[in-house]
Structure 1
Amino acid sequence: MDQQQDNENTDTADTAPTVQQRIKQVSRRLLAGASTRAGALKSGAQSRLHGRPLPVKLALIALWSMAAGLMAILAWLLILIPFTPGIDDLEQVSRSRPTVILDAGGRPLGTFEKGLQERVKLSQVSPHVVEALISTEDHRFYQHHGVDFKRVAGALWASIKGDPQGGSTITQQLARNMFPQEIGRARSINRKMKELITAIKIENTYSKTQILEAYLNTVPFLYNAYGIEMAARTYFGKPAQKLDVLESATLVGMLKGTHYYNPVANPERSLSRRNVVLGQMRKHGAFDDKRYAQLVKRPVRLRFARLPDRSGKDDHFTHHVRKWLLDWADENDYNLQLDGLVVRTTLDPELQAAAERAVRRQADILQAIADVEWANPNVPRSTATATYTSIRPNIDPFSYYWITNARALDAFVRESGAYRNAVEEGEEPAAALKRLKADRGFMNELKAAKSRLEAGFVAVDPASGEVKAWVGSRDFERDQYDHVAQAARQPGSTFKPFVYGAALERGIPPDQAYRDVVLEFKGDHGEVWKPTDMDGNSGRSMPMRDGLVFSKNTITAQVSQEVGIEPIVRLAQGLGIRQSRLEAVPSLALGTSPVTLLEMVSSYATIAALGEYHKPIFVRTIEDREGNVIADFGVGQPERAMSRESAEALIDMLRGVVTRGTGNGVRNRFGIRGDLAAKTGTSQNNQDGWFIMMHPNLVAGAWVGFNDNRVTIRSSYWGQGGHNAALVVGDFFRGAFDGGSLDAKATLPGWRAPEPRRYVVEEEPEEIFMDEAQEIVPEGGPEVMPVAPPPEPVEPVEPVIEPLEAAPAPSAPPTGFPTPSEL
């Protein structure tokens, strides 16, 4: 019985009419009732008209028709009332404020302000503005209650005679400005009815002073200026309170059509319209005929200047926050332009400043190195950056690259928008290529874009996942492509800690021995993988720890084969690679699957947090306009991605990279002390340079390369992440330590005081993944190498000079152009 009743209830719930169905049902009943009543009215009307004279019949029919029309209009208005803004909406708009984005120190990063707008009281506006506005737009403003029916009737009669006129009051115009989506802009009776209803609601909610104030603060005046205050400053260089009668009339005259009567672009139309406004002011008693005659003779005098955007100069971090906030606001039903939210981000202003300085300074140096190396057949063999910065003013950047890579240059032209447009419009491909290559301006611009070195940097607090610094490129205005969260590049050897971490999780100890020899590994489909190391192989046994410290491809390959690819993929994803797709192939162990810098730094932060993953956080809290926290993003629980014991062992292995491995140059070059762990990374042919370093309180990483990875740093030395990206990270940490943002005495788990150094440890070269050792020559033939390397000068800008070592022979320009990992 109960089951049957439940089924009946379920059936009833399933068949319950929707809101639309209910409306249709009610409409049918109303129409049926109306039809019945209409029939009764028709019978009654016929009986009343029976026997009356014809003129009386016609008069009665006309009156009844007018009454029916009025009743229809009244019914229409009643139906539209629920579809117009309510009192709550009016109050919300009246209290509207743009959402503001703040850094961790409370300083503004940007806003969601709708143009340039500054609200002022009516007492702060020149009386001439109010007189001009009321005289021209709504001279019965103080007599009506939102709708001037006398003016509406006059406008209707004028339209019937062929002279269409507007009948909207100031309050109706305010309704349109406040609710453009709800009311609309189309010329229709439906829109006019909505506007009328909303205007009446506004009049019943606010005083005339408040209405004038709201109108003057929201009306647009072109050039991103909203409201009378910004208009006065834009066109006349003064506050609204100091506008004279001519200036007031000019601005009010723009309201009929801001573009058409723009005093900057159309001064003659603006003058004519200003005089019309002055005539209306005279008509309604603002001044007499004599004063009017004097005023209309004066020209329009402007002090025009576009005001700078105060919403904040976006960078990659703020741009990322904006995009995220738009989605969040849509999901949670907030209006970022009106609700006055306060978004508190995690960005640390001091660390951000250090990051921006490091990227700017070191990327400029690396650009000089790339420019010099590709300028001539001979490459300077120096590990000192000052060598290249001193040569840079005297060379033609990348000239040798363009000579020896003619096929690449042709490919760049064919991939350009100008070439594609030309071919689509019917020009022959060969002719389009020849024409564009002959265009010196086009070619110079193309070469400059392709040869511009880029960099990305991000720093994360491992204890919380909070992003403390974020630099997406060298210059946001020039390159909005974000090399932190958007660009996916091959991580090279920075991926190796995931391999060794998976081995530790399996129980393989750091001291397990492997032979440093080249081995062949067969894939599932019979393919052979034979990883090698650029500096050769010793054939001797070495512990797994040293395989990571010295970034040995041969050792890493053996470890990955013993552990298996799937466990490595699972660990990498658990640690933080959660957006990019990892290819489960043998070469993955050497970092061939593209990932983002944010994912890599987040993964290292998980290791530094002893295996606990914290999702990267860039917004800490969001508050409403009253200061109440409506969203808190810093309270999430971490996920265990790796055992504490394995994380401690992996940190200790990475510590060796800085003390004696491929990353030890960062200490010497920048004078950095303290307990640090790191890993370097370089992808094939020097396409990508990576360096990620861990401090107990901060994990930071950098990527260096070119947007088009067919262009690379030429030499093997400067092409390595331990020598390019490490400059950015080292410069940042030096600034962070010097500025007191980081504690140099803090230690990572497992730290032991180092023994006094009795000798200088030479920096080991970082290895680059290559499937097979191969000789690369330029298209024009082998390059001529210098007989002897030039002496290395001392770098004056760096406190501690890295010990000199013979750099590897510079690699020749590549002949093959692999498919870009991302563009």
Structure 2
Amino acid sequence: MNHPYVSLFRELCARWVNRGRSLAASAGAQSRRLVRATLHGMRHPTRRGILLALAALPLFVLAYTLALVPFTPRLGDIRKARVDRPALILSSDGKVLAEFKPVNREWVTLDQISPHVVDALIATEDHRFYQHHGIDLQRVAGAALHTFTSSRQGGSTITQQLARNLYPDEIGRAPTLTRKLKEAITALKIESVYSKDQILETYLNTVPFLYNAYGVEMAARTYFGKPAAKLNVLESATLVGMLKANSAYNPVLNPDRALERRNTVLQQMVKFGKLPPGAYAWLMRQPLNVNFEPQAEAVGSAPHFSAQLRRWLTAWADRNGYNIYSDGLVVRTTIDSRLQAMATQAVAWQTGQLQSIANGAWNTRTGCWPGNALFQSFIRQTAEYRSARDTGLSDQATIRKLAMDASFVDGLCHSKTQIQAGFVAMDPRNGDIKAWVGSPDFHDEPFDHVQQARRQPGSTFKAFVYGAAFADGAQPGDTIVDRNVAIPLKGNAVWKPTDAEPPTGRPMSLRDALAFSRNRVTAQLMQREGPAKVAALARAMGVRESPLDPVPSLALGTSPVTLREMVSAYCTIADRGAYVEPRMVTSIEDRDGNVLADFPAARPEQALPAGAALKLVDAMRDVVDRGTGSDIRTRFGIHADVAGKTGTTQDSTDSWFILIHPQLVAGAWVGFDDARVTLRNDYWGEGAHSALPVVGAFYDMALRARVIDAHEQLAPGRVTPRAPRAHKRHHFLFWNF
């Protein structure tokens, strides 16, 4: 194509390319000349060049400072910073369950802080505090002079330190110009928003001390066993002295350094007129008189539930522009404070009983001794073992050395053999979580055995196998021969389930097989229904987070699940096959009572046909009437219309029991964190004797207190069974609800 316009276009393009090359070459030459000139100017400075450079420097700093302003905290955020209004978590009956504080702090007003603290702080950290507006230019100049003379000195005011304490991420702590400018900008903003007294109050309430103590109030309680208002001048000087370096001047671990630093603070107080000169000579000779007691953070009555809720609420607040620590949110939860107290008491009672059994089975003469191969494996997992091996000791030499350390052995044995438990109760009608206990003691074991722990559910999983069969038209009276079975698996493997009792060779009804938890019959039923169908039903009914391996042994609960999932799924059984997603929160309000968000109960999803659910309930009644869960009737004397299922895994590693009532479904898991540890007693390891008493005691209290109705029926027309004569009636001792 040889069109004249095309030729013209090509010529213009060629000219622009040549022009660009020429300009680039010219620019390159000018840049090189500029660089050479700059270098020449630096090697041979002129007076004019020096003056221009000095004049440009402030302008550069000013421009850079203005550019940093958008990257510092906003005035609105600074106004909120000194308002300690943590989210308030309430039970469904209006009781306080928890407050969501960012740290272990008790905010106190300035008039609740000893004036000696304020005097010591100002004298030591910022004696011109009342004369500047956030930045002490005299101190900055002095610090700069010392820096140029290779003797670094801090120039930060109390306000600048407060800026760092409040916004460590936005400002940072690196010794850079950027950090100092951000700190100065934020300090000026703070001074524009707060009065001097407010700055002091905020500083003293937010400054961190050691041992999880934040603010002067918690520090006063931690180190001197008294409130901040009652600190004397010596105690005040000690705490203020720690601000320079908490660890270095820790009065507990470094008393000599702390004493020296305290006396330095006293000298500063004398220097700036905060202390009479004659008092120093006597004060400096006084001991620290530390009364050390770390302050445990208040965890509330439902700590594991609150921990789960905090994560959920934080995400909600972030999405909706709220702060859970300062906006004063009021969160109304589904927890019933009475049921929560009953659950906590039941868990503590039963785990205390079981712990005495565990202590007898695991002590330095039986389980916890170096000759036990399992205990040796515990030793090999410790940091002490690894440190000893790093020195060149052999495995056996290390084992022998550590075994001679009685405190090490006792501590290791204690940590490995503590009975753990989880308990959760839900309302099957709306999914409301009414009680949640994640461990016997939150301080000792914050790990949550309701939501975080995945354990094999054992025979409690059989409910899904029988539910699938009833959905396919089977009846509780249908029979399967109780016989030995061998079920082929992939790779030429064979699964042969067993029971404690030998096979009878006779037909057994599905009702009896479920009541007495027969594995052989359940395995045959699983073959008939298919693992995939059973797994799908379990997911539909509530086991929605844990993966389920669709293999034949799934019938006996070989796939680990959470207690929360299992109780939710049993709620589906109680609610005639309708799954309702568990609910933790009903509403969120602001501090003035205005509703910010409502959370109605989820819409039910029919996971199991209602007819099949009623058959399953009827069969599970027999578990507590005459089967493996009969202690509910005989030991705890519960007459209400309830149904349930026990569960015990191989070697009694995991013990389960779940009980359903029309208004409440509750389940418990009992075991050890290390699955290799057991009670070493088949009787006490069974779910009927370890997990069931937790649930039984809980329902006993709930029914006696009339929190739930003893006359409610799981199905219409059911006659409430008369409890058999109790051969050993359980008496749960202290009801205070």
Q: Deviations over 1:3-45 (max 9, x none)?
A: xxxxxxxxxxxxxxxxxxxxxxxxxxxxx9xx99xx9xx9xxx
Match of 1:599 among 561, 565, 582: 565
Give, in angstroms, the shift of residue 240 of structure 1: 4.8
Q: Does 1:559 align with 2:546?
A: no
Change (3 A) 1:398 1:693: farther
The one-letter code sitting in structure 2 at the alignment partner of 1:106 is K
Match of 1:119 among 78, 83, 108: 108
Q: Is the 8 A contact 2:634 2:728 kept in 1?
A: no
Q: How does 1:627-776 map to 2 (within 5 A)?
A: 627-714=593-680, 716-753=682-719
**1-structure distance, mates of 2:210, 2:118:** 20
Q: Which residue of 2 aligns with 1:308?
A: 295
Match of 2:335 among 324, 344, 347: 347
Instruction: Look up the SS of the partner of 1:670 in the other structure.
Output: coil
Instruction: Look up the SS of the partner of 2:635 in the other structure.
Output: helix
Instruction: Look up the SS of the partner of 1:350 in the other structure.
Output: helix
- The worse-fitting range, judged by mean Cα deviation, of 362-371 and 744-753 is 362-371
Q: Does 1:90 align with 2:47?
A: no
- The worse-fitting range, judged by mean Cα deviation, of 401-410 and 209-218 is 401-410
Q: Deviations over 1:99-139 (max 9, x none)?
A: 44444442233533423332304x55555555554455444
TM-score normalised by L of structure 2: 0.82
Q: Which residue of 2 aligns with 1:531?
A: 497
Q: Which residue of 2 aligns with 1:275?
A: 266
State the aligned residue count. 689
Change (3 A) 1:754 1:457: closer
**2-structure distance, mates of 1:604, 1:493:** 13
Q: Deviations over 1:627-654 (max 9, x none)?
A: 4444544443232211222212211111
Match of 1:190 among 170, 178, 187: 178
Match of 2:98 among 106, 109, 112: 109
Q: Which residue of 2 aligns with 1:73?
A: 61
Quote the RMSD (CA, aligned, Å): 3.8
Q: Which residue of 2 aligns with 1:317?
A: 305
**1-structure distance, mates of 2:679, 2:262:** 61
- The worse-fitting range, judged by mean Cα deviation, of 649-658 and 171-180 is 171-180
Change (3 A) 1:716 1:338: same
**2-structure distance, mates of 1:435, 1:339:** 56
Instruction: Look up the SS of the partner of 1:116 in the other structure.
Output: coil
Q: Is the 8 A contact 1:260 1:269 kept in 2?
A: no
**2-structure distance, mates of 1:495, 1:517:** 21
Instruction: Look up the SS of the partner of 1:117 in the other structure.
Output: coil
Give, in angstroms, the shift of residue 442 of structure 1: 4.1
**1-structure distance, mates of 2:418, 2:479:** 44
Change (3 A) 1:110 1:209: closer
Q: Is the 8 A contact 1:236 1:302 kept in 2?
A: no
Q: How does 1:130-169 map to 2 (within 5 A)?
A: 130-169=118-157
Give, in angstroms, the shift of residue 482 of structure 1: 3.3
Change (3 A) 1:615 1:167: same
Match of 1:511 among 459, 477, 489: 477
**1-structure distance, mates of 2:560, 2:203:** 54
Q: Does 1:488 align with 2:454?
A: yes
The one-letter code sitting in structure 2 at the alignment partner of 1:694 is I
Change (3 A) 1:797 1:180: same
Change (3 A) 1:223 1:525: closer
**2-structure distance, mates of 1:136, 1:400:** 60
**2-structure distance, mates of 1:209, 1:699:** 54
Q: Which residue of 1 aligns with 2:577?
A: 611
Q: Is the 8 A contact 1:102 1:344 kept in 2?
A: yes
The one-letter code sitting in structure 2 at the alignment partner of 1:467 is I
**1-structure distance, mates of 2:720, 2:149:** 98
**2-structure distance, mates of 1:796, 1:347:** 30
The one-letter code sitting in structure 2 at the alignment partner of 1:692 is I
Q: Deviations over 1:474-533 (max 9, x none)?
A: 334444443322333322221111011111222223333333333444345544444343
**2-structure distance, mates of 1:444, 1:245:** 43
TM-score normalised by L of structure 1: 0.74
| Unpaired runs of at least 5, structure 1 | 1-31, 47-56, 375-395, 763-793, 801-823
Q: Which residue of 1 aligns with 2:10?
A: none
Instruction: Look up the SS of the partner of 1:581 in the other structure.
Output: coil
Q: Deviations over 1:271-314 (max 9, x none)?
A: 431233223323xxx67xxx323444423565544462344368
**1-structure distance, mates of 2:496, 2:428:** 36
**2-structure distance, mates of 1:200, 1:409:** 61
Q: Deviations over 1:759-805 (max 9, x none)?
A: x699xxxxxxxxxxxxxxxxxxxxxxxxxxxxxxx8585499xxxxx
Q: Which residue of 1 aligns with 2:6?
A: none
Q: Is the 8 A contact 1:671 1:799 kept in 2?
A: no
Change (3 A) 1:599 1:196: same
Change (3 A) 1:577 1:243: closer
**1-structure distance, mates of 2:682, 2:236:** 68
| Unpaired runs of at least 5, structure 2 | 1-26
**2-structure distance, mates of 1:594, 1:747:** 32
Give, in angstroms, the shift of residue 671 of structure 1: 1.0
The one-letter code sitting in structure 1 at the alignment partner of 2:338 is E
- The worse-fitting range, judged by mean Cα deviation, of 190-199 and 624-633 is 624-633
Change (3 A) 1:653 1:440: same
Q: Which residue of 1 aligns with 2:511?
A: 545
Q: Is the 8 A contact 1:620 1:632 kept in 2?
A: yes
Q: Which residue of 2 aligns with 1:818?
A: none
Give, in angstroms, the shift of residue 251 of structure 1: 4.7
**1-structure distance, mates of 2:149, 2:57:** 22
Q: Which residue of 2 aligns with 1:588?
A: 554
Instruction: Look up the SS of the partner of 2:159 in the other structure.
Output: helix
Match of 2:395 among 417, 424, 429: 429
Give, in angstroms, the shift of residue 567 of structure 1: 1.1
Instruction: Look up the SS of the partner of 1:723 in the other structure.
Output: helix
Q: Which residue of 1 aligns with 2:162?
A: 174
**2-structure distance, mates of 1:798, 1:747:** 25
Q: Percent identity?
A: 47
Q: Deviations over 1:569-594 (max 9, x none)?
A: 10011111122222211122222222
The one-letter code sitting in structure 2 at the alignment partner of 1:214 is T
Q: Is the 8 A contact 1:662 1:680 kept in 2?
A: yes
Match of 1:218 among 206, 223, 228: 206
Give, in angstroms, the shift of residue 700 of structure 1: 1.0
Q: Is the 8 A contact 1:100 1:112 kept in 2?
A: no
- The worse-fitting range, judged by mean Cα deviation, of 270-279 and 744-753 is 270-279
Change (3 A) 1:521 1:405: farther
Change (3 A) 1:655 1:138: same
Q: Is the 8 A contact 2:234 2:288 kept in 1?
A: no
The one-letter code sitting in structure 1 at the alignment partner of 2:283 is R
Instruction: Look up the SS of the partner of 2:537 in the other structure.
Output: helix
Change (3 A) 1:650 1:90: same
Change (3 A) 1:398 1:454: farther
Change (3 A) 1:739 1:556: same
Q: Is the 8 A contact 1:120 1:229 kept in 2?
A: no
Q: How does 1:379-394 map to 2 (within 5 A)?
A: none
Change (3 A) 1:68 1:686: closer
Q: Which residue of 2 aligns with 1:364?
A: 352
**2-structure distance, mates of 1:401, 1:192:** 60
Q: Deviations over 1:691-736 (max 9, x none)?
A: 1110111111122334444444455544432233222211221121
Q: Which residue of 2 aligns with 1:781?
A: none
